[in-house]
Structure 1
Amino acid sequence: MRVCLVASNRYPVAEPFAGGLEALTHHLARLLVARGHDVTLYAADGSDPALPVRTLTPAVFRPTEVSMRDVNAPAEEWMGDHHAYLDLVLDLVRTGADRFDVVHNHSLHHLPVAMAGLLPVPLVTTLHTPPLPWLESAVAVSGSASEFTAVSECTARAWAGTIEARPVLNGVDTRARRPGPGGGPVVWTGRLVREKAPHLAVDAARVAGREEPYGLVAAEAMSCGTPVAAFGRGALPEIVAEGTGVLCAPDDVAGLAAAIDEAAGCDRRAVRRHAVRRLSAERMVAEYEQVYASLAHGEVAA
C-alpha cells in the first residue's frame, strides 16, 4: 500500500526520541517499508535520514508586522504550526489521491482531523494523549470523516465521550533490547514528571532496601527480561501480565515496596516471551496494516 504518515512538525522522528509519538512513528515507518509498503513520512527537520522522510516545513511564512500587532495575534510558534499543517493538508487535498492509499495522522494538531472530509483518500488518526480541547473541537465538526485508533485501551476510554477509537497497543523494538541475566538493584526509568511518580519509586525502593532509581519504560524493560513493579494506573494494566511483574494501588508506597520484592521472583524468560509476543513493534505494525486494509476497502475498523 501507499501510506502517508504525518508526525510532529516540532520534534524529529529520530533517536533519542522526544516521546512515545516519535518512537511509534519511527517504528511504524521503518517496519512498513521492510514489509514492502510505499511509505512517505512527513516529519520535523532532523528526522532519521534512513526513513522515507519529507520535512514538514512549508515555504517560510511570516505574518506582517501589522497583523502581529493585533491584540489577539497568536504566538509565532503557533502560526508556524498552523501554516505547516495547512500547507500539508491542502497539498493532500490536491494530489493525495495520486500518491497515497491511506493517510495515517500522528500529529496533535487539529487541522488534519478538521479537514479530513476534504481528503480524496481515507485518513486514520492515532490518539496519543488524553483528550485535548482543540482536537475535541476538530472531532466535533468532522469526526465522522476520520477513523481513530488509540495507543492503549486507557487512552481510548479517555476519549470515549468524544469519539470511538480502536486500541492498538504501542510496541517497542524488542530486537534492539536483548534479555540479560538480571540481578542487582532496582531501576526506575521514564520521563521525569510528577505523574510518573519517581519520588514515590524512591520511597518504595528505600522501604524495600534496594535504592537505585533511574528511568524506565515498562515494555522496553520487559524486552530485556526485566520484570516490572509499578502503580496500576494508565496503560500499565494492559502491559504487565501475570508472571511478568506486579502492580499495586496508585501512590501506595508500601504496596510498591512489596511489589518490588514479589516482581524480583518472576521468570525473566517468561517476561521476555510476553514482550516479544504482546509488546513488539512488529505486532503493532501488523495491527495497523489491518486498519489500513479496512480503510482502503471502505470498511470501518473494528
Structure 2
Amino acid sequence: MKIAQIAPLAESVPPKLYGGTERIVSYLTEELACQGHEVTLFASGDSLTSAELVPCAEKALRLDPAIRDPIPYHLIMLEEVRQRSDEFDILHFHIDLLHFPLIRPFAHRTVTTLHGRLDLPDLQPFYRAFPEIPVVSISDDQRRPLPMANWAATVQHGLPLDILPFSPHGQGGYLAFLGRVSPEKRPDRAIEIAVRSGMPLKIAAKVDKADEDYWRDVIKPMIDRHPNVDYVGEVDETAKAAFLGDASALLFPIDWPEPFGLVMIEAMACGTPTIAFRCGSVPEVLEEGVSGYIVGSVEEAVSAVGRVGAISRAGVRRAFEERFSASRMARDYLDVYDSLMHHRMHMIPFPTEAAGAGVQTVA
C-alpha cells in the first residue's frame, strides 16, 4: 500500500523534546514501513525516518526563532500534498483541520486523526460543514462533543516495545510530572499531592509562550516554596527513560478532557504506575489497580501515593505490551485504510464543479 503521512511542522518527526503528535506519527510511519508499505512522510526537514521524507520546512517551526506564523508553512506543505495526491492509496493527515477544503475531491482516500481537544464550540459548525471527511478519534471520550463528525474508528496510541526500557524497581523514590506546564495539566495539583504525601516531586515539562504567565505567577512560586519539588525542564527521549523509570509513580492530575495522554503509556512502558484524575480518556487507558489508580480528588491521590507499592511493575509493563504497542496501532490503522479503500462514500461536490451537480458516490 502507498501511504502518505502528513505531520504538523511545529516539531520534527520524531520530536527532539516535547511533541506527542509528532512522536506518534513517527512510530506509525516506521512501523508501516517496517511492514513493507511504501510510506511518504510530509514533515519538517530535520525529521528522521526510514520512509521517503518530503521536507516542508527547513526545521521544526517551534525551534526556529525566525518563525512568526506557522500557517504559511503548513499551506506550502498542503500544496505539495495536493500535487502528489494521486501517488497514494491513502493520505493520513495529523494536522487538525486546515486541509479539509483541499481534500474534498479525494476525501475517500484520506483519513484524519484528531489529536487535540474537541469540546470547543467553534468546531461544531465546522464539522457540520464537512460531513464527508473521515476522521479517527484517539479515545472514545474525545469524540463525545462532535457526534455529527464522520467517525471512521477509534485508534488508541501505541509505542515501539523497545522505545522505553522496563525498570523493575523505580528506585528514585520520587513522583514524576511530565508534559506541559499549563492550567489544564494542573502541575499545581501535582505539587500539592507531593507536599501532602511527603514525597519528592520532579517536574519535567515545557512552558509554551501562552502559559508563561501561569508559570511565572502560579507554578514557579509554588516550586520555590517547597524544597521537595524540583523543576528539571524539558527532557529528551534518553532522559525520559530514566526520569519515568526511576519514579515511584507518575502524577497525571489533569483538569480537562484529555484526548489520550501519551505520557500514561510511556510510564507503563517503564513499569511505572500512574495516579490520574478521572477526566477524558483516563478510564480508557488505565486499568484500576493494574496500571495505576484513578482518583477524583487531591485527597484520593495522596491516598493512592501510599498504595503504589502494591502495584506490580511487571504487571504494568505487561499491560502496556498487551494493549499499547506500535504494531497494534499500525494494524488498527491498516484496518481503517482498508475499510476506506473498499467502502463507497457519499461525497459533497467540490466547489469548482458545475453548479447543480448532485451528491457523488465515489468507489
Give the TM-score category using the shorter length.
0.7 to 0.9
- Cα displacement (A) at 1:86: 4.4
Kindly indicate whether the alpha-carbon contact (under 8 Å) linking 1:2 and 1:39 is maintained by their aligned counterparts in 2.
Answer: yes
Cα distance between partner residues in 2 of 1:133 and 1:5: 28
Report the counterpart of residue 180 of structure 2 in structure 1: 191
- Cα displacement (A) at 1:78: 5.8
- Once the two structures are superposed, residues 142-186 of structure 1 have per-residue CA deviations (whole angstroms, 9 ceiling, x without a partner) of 331x21101112212233254435211111233121211224222
Letter in 1 for 2:162: R
Letter in 2 for 1:106: H
- Label 1:208 to 1:4 Cα distance change in 2 as closer, same or farther (>3 A): same
Equivalent residue in structure 2 for 1:226, among 272, 295, 313? 272
Mapping for residues 128-167 of structure 1, pairs under 5 Å = 128-131=115-118, 138-144=126-132, 146-164=133-151, 166-167=153-154
- Label 1:282 to 1:199 Cα distance change in 2 as closer, same or farther (>3 A): same
Matched, 1:255 2:242: no
- Once the two structures are superposed, residues 177-217 of structure 1 have per-residue CA deviations (whole angstroms, 9 ceiling, x without a partner) of 12112242222222222211111111111211212233452
**TM-score under structure 1 length normalisation:** 0.82
Cα distance between partner residues in 1 of 2:81 and 2:15: 27
Cα distance between partner residues in 2 of 1:44 and 1:133: 31
Letter in 1 for 2:11: Y
Mapping for residues 7-46 of structure 1, pairs under 5 Å = 7-46=7-46
Equivalent residue in structure 1 for 2:162, among 175, 183, 194? 175
Which consecutive residues of structure 2, in runs of 5 or more, have no partner in the other structure?
A: 59-66, 205-249, 251-262, 346-363
Kindly indicate whether the alpha-carbon contact (under 8 Å) linking 1:3 and 1:103 is maintained by their aligned counterparts in 2.
Answer: yes
Alignment partner of 2:199: what SS? coil
Cα distance between partner residues in 2 of 1:118 and 1:47: 29
Cα distance between partner residues in 2 of 1:263 and 1:136: 41
Report the counterpart of residue 70 of structure 1 in structure 2: none
Letter in 1 for 2:175: V
RMSD, matched Cα: 2.5
Alignment partner of 2:46: what SS? coil
- Cα displacement (A) at 1:55: 1.2
Letter in 2 for 1:207: R
Alignment partner of 1:166: what SS? strand
Letter in 1 for 2:52: P
- Cα displacement (A) at 1:21: 1.0
Cα distance between partner residues in 2 of 1:107 and 1:288: 17
Matched, 1:205 2:252: no
Kindly indicate whether the alpha-carbon contact (under 8 Å) linking 2:30 and 2:49 is maintained by their aligned counterparts in 1.
Answer: no
Mapping for residues 80-119 of structure 1, pairs under 5 Å = 80-81=72-73, 83-92=75-84, 96-97=85-86, 99-110=87-98, 112-119=99-106
Give percent identity, aligned residues only. Answer: 28
Matched, 1:281 2:326: yes
Letter in 1 for 2:10: R
Alignment partner of 2:151: what SS? coil
- Cα displacement (A) at 1:11: 2.5
Alignment partner of 1:292: what SS? helix
- Cα displacement (A) at 1:284: 1.0
Which consecutive residues of structure 1, in runs of 5 or more, have no partner in the other structure?
A: 59-74
Cα distance between partner residues in 2 of 1:279 and 1:201: 25
Equivalent residue in structure 1 for 2:287, among 237, 241, 265? 241
Letter in 2 for 1:191: R
- Label 1:277 to 1:212 Cα distance change in 2 as closer, same or farther (>3 A): same
Letter in 2 for 1:101: D
- Label 1:135 to 1:32 Cα distance change in 2 as closer, same or farther (>3 A): farther
Cα distance between partner residues in 1 of 2:187 and 2:140: 24
- Cα displacement (A) at 1:245: 0.6
Alignment partner of 1:291: what SS? helix
Letter in 1 for 2:323: R
- Label 1:134 to 1:2 Cα distance change in 2 as closer, same or farther (>3 A): farther
Q: Which of structures 1 and 2 has the larger relative contact order (alpha carbons within 8 angstroms, sep 6+)?
A: 2
- Once the two structures are superposed, residues 41-69 of structure 1 have per-residue CA deviations (whole angstroms, 9 ceiling, x without a partner) of 111221115442101259xxxxxxxxxxx
- Label 1:18 to 1:214 Cα distance change in 2 as closer, same or farther (>3 A): closer
Letter in 2 for 1:225: G
